[in-house]
Amino acid sequence: MSKPETWISRQDLTELESTNNADQTRTPVSPQSESQLPLSSRPAPSRLWIKNPLAVFTANGLDARGGIVISGTTISELVPAGEQPSTPCDETFDAGRHVLLPGLINTHHHFYQTLTRAWGPVANAPLFPWLQNLYPVWARLTPDSLELAVKVALAELLLSGCTTAADHHYLFPAGLEDAIDLEVGVVRELGMRATLTRGSMCLGEDDGGLPPRSTVQRPEVILADSERLIGKYHEAGDGAVIQIALAPCSPFSVTKEVMAESAAMAERLDVRLHTHLAETIDEENFCLEKFGLRTVDYLDSVGWLGNRTWLGHGIHFDDDEIARLGAAGTAVAHCPTSNMRLASGTARVVELEAAGVPVGLGVDGSASNDASNMILEARQALYLQRLRYGADLPVERALGWATRGSAAALGRTDIGQLAPGMQADLAMFTLDELRFSGSHDPVAALLLCAADRADRVMVGGQWRVVDGQIPGLDVRKLVAEHSAAAQKIVRGTE
């Protein structure tokens, strides 16, 4: 595909960033690439002190009220209240107006669905009819429309303070075989991190599944492409930008064989597993009728009940199932807005965590949310879970799901909290809009006053949002192109 005009080059972006950093003093950078120097003569990475934030949430109880020090791509030091960094810094960013958080992490999404937001025919429908109406529309997805959809979803997430996003892409109609490759390109252009899951559907209507024939693939095609993508893109270890996971869509759209073979491949290649599970009672009934099993028994029967797996939604579990999930270390992506919109139910998040289940947050696909806003999703999670557990559920607990919990759900130990050695992924919010006026506790104000946009976002030591904007992204042009693609896919004229 040709490079879209919406984007400028990474070099231009870097120049733009430096011109945007008027309040940050910088030292000159050597023209010689550091990677060309022998290790012994490489300069130490420059140290940036993000100084004295208005407030800070570290997600681990550590004191960083004096700020944090970034060295290169990672956090090297937390500065306690009233103290200075242990050694001098090259640059300082005065964060006196900012509430500082670890970068938010989204654990469940379907980026392509930004093309079918607030679509009238499914605006008021529960999951199964919602899906059956949307499948034929989604079957018209093209590389161009997908690329626009991914850019919109990621840009929206980034502006809401999200630095790492998982996407569950399971649609590969003819011509869109390279959907995940295309997503990789957009993630890299925006400078975020992503866990891109190679989704799949192989159980079409004529085989007793839910999706139409045109949207499903043969098992051997799914498995071969999964292995190709892992080999080509998956990065293991700290600082990974792209990770690939395997994600058969749901019990009602894949066969048990593909589930089992995906689990075996994940074990062999050391990647994670993701699927939708226990989202609705309709799904539970489907599993009972088709497999003679409840959802967790089904999961167990295909080799997925383990700590390699994170589940989208995870709502309809009984006490025994929660205990089994906890013992196995299987994680859950809680998607409160989607669950409310489709009236799917309320996940038992506090009980899941008490049992040992890592819980993260997901905005879910944009046809069931329909916003890709992580800080607002944390607010929704707080309020939905307070309805179940009471008003003493702390604000910080919801922020913990959006950061440390989400990192655990994605199997990552290098992001999701502010601590020495963690990646320098940050979300910083100001409280100078009308909605915050009169607020007292700055961290609580983020959720209680409905913060919806970060002022600054850093990923791996690089500013990706500056003054509430993504440097180099022509949002107006992107919206115009994406809106046109959304009209086309619904009309069926592509």
Binding site for Zn ion (CB under 5 A): 312, 364
Question: Whole-number minimum distance, CB 249 to Zn ion, in Å?
Answer: 9
Residue 321 vs 364, nearer CB to Zn ion: 364
- 66 or 312: CB nearest Zn ion: 312
In the complex, the smallest distance separating the C-beta of residue 361 from Zn ion, rounded to whole angstroms, is 13
SS3 71: strand
Kind and range of the H or E run holding 481:
helix 475-491
Pairing label, strands 47-51, 67-71? antiparallel
Cβ at position 220, least distance to Zn ion in Å: 25
**Contact assessment for residue 373 and residue 156, using Cβ atoms and an 8 Å cutoff:** yes
Nearer to Zn ion, 50 or 367 (CB): 367
Question: Tokens in use for 348?
Answer: 């038992």
Residue with smaller CB distance to Zn ion, 6 or 250: 250
Distances in Å between the Cα of 354 and the Cα atoms of 108, 325, 397 are 22, 11, 13
> Which has the closest alpha carbon to 345: 376, 385, 307?
385
State the Cα–Cα distance between residues 248 and 444, nearest whole angstrom: 38
Q: Which of 358, 330, 335, 357 lies closest to 346 in space, CA to CA?
A: 335
In angstroms, give the least distance from the CB of 216 to Zn ion. 17
Nearer to Zn ion, 53 or 251 (CB): 251
Closer by beta carbon to Zn ion, 85 or else 312: 312
User: Which residue's CB is nearer to Zn ion, number 364 or number 377?
Assistant: 364
Closest CB 329 distance from Zn ion, rounded Å? 22
Of 341 and 412, which CB lies nearer to Zn ion in the complex structure? 341
How many other CB atoms are found less than 10 A from the CB of residue 220?
A: 11
| Least spacing, CB of residue 304 vs Zn ion, in Å | 17
Give the nearest distance from C-beta 312 to Zn ion in angstroms: 5
Closest distance between Zn ion and the C-beta of residue 101, in Å? Answer: 25
The sheet carrying 67-71 orders its strands as 74-79, 67-71, 47-51, 91-94
The answer to whether the CB of 334 falls within 8 A of the CB of 401 is yes
Residue 112 CB, nearest approach to Zn ion (Å): 11
Strand 309-313 and strand 273-277: the pairing is parallel
Pick 152 or 277: Cβ nearer Zn ion: 277
Query: Using CA atoms, how far apart are residues 178 and 198, in angstroms rounded to an integer?
Result: 11
Question: Which of residues 122 and 458 has its CB atom nearest to Zn ion in the complex?
Answer: 122
DSSP, collapsed to helix, strand or coil, labels residue 413 as: coil
Contact 471, 158 (CB under 8 A): no
CB of 109 to Zn ion, least distance (A): 7
Shortest distance (Å) from residue 113 CB to Zn ion: 9
β-pair partners for 218: none
Q: Which stretches of 349-474 are DSSP H helices?
A: 349-355, 374-389, 395-400, 406-409, 442-448
Which of 52, 36, 122, 116 is closest to 84 using CA atoms?
A: 52
209 or 312, CB closer to Zn ion? 312
Q: In sequence order, what are the beta bridge partners of 78?
A: 68
Residues near 221 by Cβ (< 8 Å), separated by ≥ 6?
Answer: none
Question: From the CB of 332, what's the least distance to Zn ion, in Å?
Answer: 13
DSSP state of 91: E
Closest C-alpha to 416, from 215, 195, 222, 85: 195
Distances in Å between the alpha carbon of 85 and those of 80, 432, 441? 9, 28, 26
**Contact call for residues 242 and 233 (beta carbons, < 8 A):** yes
- Smaller CB separation from Zn ion, 312 or 360: 312
Residue type, 390: G
